[in-house]
């Protein structure tokens, strides 16, 4: 067994104030106090089922918007992790926060309870764009939130930024990016908007003015260029970090490290197996009440074979600036990819560059 491996923990908090127009993730807006209390109890129950012998190297509370569960509850959960498990010295403990969902006091409490990294969903510095996305905050709220977080003692702060947004020009994006960078985040996660089915954006997609591919490419170009010139390293498809601030928790995913997911819709990779809880808060609560957290009580992801593992390693590795080792039979393909200007290949390891990251799906497809 691989029980001596390090472990990471992911907590899924599927509650938010209001669903954004583009969001396809599992999250319940306007959930009542009662269900939140039950959900909190359920997670506590699941924590009690976790193995204690493995060292925890990162903890991540994502959502939804975690503070919507209640800042007190978040604090209690993180405290039970900090006190109940063996944590590595520099264990990274992140909480996702939306500007406007936590004020100065709340952020202080979160920091005091044990969170040491905050991920802020800023997305854009353009209020018109934020409104169109259906965000609940404006840019001024984001600025304030950064200041509060710093004041509360968060010295590791990440900002989410989006591009390829409706009505967003190349210049508009760059201006927005400059403003966000001026707030001094240590880490930036930058995503191009992905149009997902079953979102309001999808149903009105024909009415939305999405940037064409030239504009999107220009935005991506200025994203990579501007962040690089400001000292951020592009170390993963969507991630940029100042030296020393790479996201430890996300790196676990890409490096095939193991993690345990808690809460509804949370995914785990544990003892070599991938499994998850179904995206259904009520079912999750019921499961907790019945104490059904044995490994067999999870939905199993359909892949665990040896080939699958190798493919996953390649697929995840190529997302990062560390790259991935290419199977012997695919070396010619890797050489070709490097020759086409998508990265570098030293005969073993293929590392994609900014241009390669943009088409990484197609590249991975040629290598498996």
Partner 1 sequence: MKNIDRIRNFSIIAHIDHGKSTLADRLLEYTGAVEKREVEEQMLDNMELERERGITIKARAVRFVYKADDGNEYILNLIDTPGHVDFGYEVSRSLSACEGAVLIVDATQGIQAQTLANAYMAVDHDLEILPVINKIDLASADPDMAKREIEDIIGIPASDAPCISAKLGIGIKDVLERIVKDIPAPKGDSGKPLEALIFDCFYDSYKGVIVYIRVINGALKVGDKVRMMHTGAEFEVVELGTLSTFSLDKKDSLEAGEVGYFTASIKNIADTDVGDTVTLCDRPCEKPLPGFKKSQPMVFAGIYPADGSKYGDLKDALDKLRLNDSSFTYEPETSVALGFGFRCGFLGLLHMEIIEERLEREFDLDLITTAPSVIYEIHKTNGEVVYIDNPTNYPDPATIETACEPYVSATVITPSEYVGTIMQLCTDRRGEFIDMKYIDTNRAELHYLLPLNEIVYDFFDSLKSKSKGYASLDYEFKDYRPSKLSKLDILLNGDIVDALSFIVHSDRAYARARKICEKLKDHIPRQLFEIPVQAAIGGKIIARETVKAMRKDVLAKCYGGDITRKKKLLEKQKEGKKRMRTLGTVEVPQEAFMAVLKYDDE
- In whole angstroms, how close is the CB of 97 to partner 1 at the nearest point? 16
Cα 326 from Cα 310, distance rounded (Å):
10
Neighbours of 227 (CB within 10 A): 20
192 part of the interface to partner 1, by CB under 8 A = yes
182 part of the interface to partner 1, by CB under 8 A = no
Pick out residues in 56-95 that bind partner 1 (CB under 8 A).
Answer: 60, 62
199 part of the interface to partner 1, by CB under 8 A = no
Which of 208, 309, 316, 322 touches partner 1 (CB under 8 A)?
A: 316
- Of 228 and 336, the one with the shorter C-beta distance to partner 1 is 336
Residue 320 gets which letter from DSSP? B
Residue 260's closest CA among 92, 12, 69, 41?
12
- Of 152 and 337, the one with the shorter C-beta distance to partner 1 is 337
Residue 236's closest CA among 92, 351, 93?
351
364 part of the interface to partner 1, by CB under 8 A = yes
340 part of the interface to partner 1, by CB under 8 A = yes
Give alpha helix (H) positions in the chain: 33-48, 71-84, 104-113, 127-133, 139-152, 170-182, 200-203, 213-229, 248-254, 281-289, 306-317, 331-339, 354-358, 360-367
Cα 175 from Cα 138, distance rounded (Å):
16
- Of 109 and 134, the one with the shorter C-beta distance to partner 1 is 134
202 part of the interface to partner 1, by CB under 8 A = no
264 part of the interface to partner 1, by CB under 8 A = no
274 part of the interface to partner 1, by CB under 8 A = yes
Cα 22 from Cα 20, distance rounded (Å):
6
- Of 30 and 336, the one with the shorter C-beta distance to partner 1 is 336
Cα 155 from Cα 278, distance rounded (Å):
35
217 part of the interface to partner 1, by CB under 8 A = yes
Counts of helices then strands in the chain (DSSP H, E): 14, 17
Which of 15, 245, 259, 345 touches partner 1 (CB under 8 A)?
A: 259
Residues that bind partner 1 (CB under 8 A): 10, 12, 25, 60, 62, 191-192, 194, 213, 216-217, 237-238, 252-254, 259, 261, 265-269, 274, 276, 301, 303, 311-312, 315-316, 319, 336-337, 340, 342, 357-366, 368
């Amino acid at each position: 067994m691989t029980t001596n491996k390090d472990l990471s923990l992911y907590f899924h908090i599927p509650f938010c104030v209001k669903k954004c127009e583009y969001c396809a993730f599992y999250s319940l807006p306007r959930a009542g106090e009662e269900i939140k209390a039950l959900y909190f109890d359920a997670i506590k129950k699941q924590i009690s089922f976790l193995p204690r012998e493995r060292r925890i190297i990162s903890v991540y509370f994502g959502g939804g918007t975690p503070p919507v569960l209640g800042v007190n509850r978040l604090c209690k959960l993180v405290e039970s992790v900090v006190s109940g498990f063996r944590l590595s010295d520099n264990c990274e403990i992140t909480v996702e926060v939306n500007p406007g969902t936590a004020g100065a006091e709340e952020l202080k409490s979160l920091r005091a309870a044990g969170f040491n990294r905050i991920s802020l969903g800023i997305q854009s510095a353009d209020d018109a764009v934020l409104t169109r996305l259906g965000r609940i905050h404006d840019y001024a709220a984001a600025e304030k939130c950064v200041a509060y977080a710093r004041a509360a003692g968060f010295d590791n702060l990440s900002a989410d930024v989006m591009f390829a947004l409706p009505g967003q020009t190349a210049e508009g994006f760059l201006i927005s990016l400059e403003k966000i960078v001026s707030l001094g985040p240590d880490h930036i996660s930058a995503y191009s908007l992905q149009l997902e089915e079953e979102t309001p954006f999808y149903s009105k997609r024909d009415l939305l003015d999405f940037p064409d591919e030239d504009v999107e490419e220009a935005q991506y170009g200025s994203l990579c260029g501007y962040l690089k010139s400001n000292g951020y390293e592009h170390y993963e498809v969507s991630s940029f970090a100042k030296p020393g601030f790479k996201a430890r928790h996300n790196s676990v995913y890409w490096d095939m490290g193991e993690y345990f997911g808690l809460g509804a819709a949370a995914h785990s990779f544990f003892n070599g197996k991938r499994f998850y809880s179904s995206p259904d808060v009520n079912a999750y609560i019921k499961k907790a009440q019945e104490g059904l957290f044995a490994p067999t009580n999870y939905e199993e992801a359909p892949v665990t074979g040896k080939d699958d593992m190798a493919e996953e390693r390649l697929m995840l590795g190529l997302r990062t600036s560390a790259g991935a080792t290419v199977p012997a039979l695919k070396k010619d393909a890797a050489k070709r990819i490097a020759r086409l200007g998508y990265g570098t290949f030293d005969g073993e390891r293929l590392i994609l560059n900014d241009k390669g990251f943009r088409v990484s799906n197609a590249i991975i497809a040629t290598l498996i």
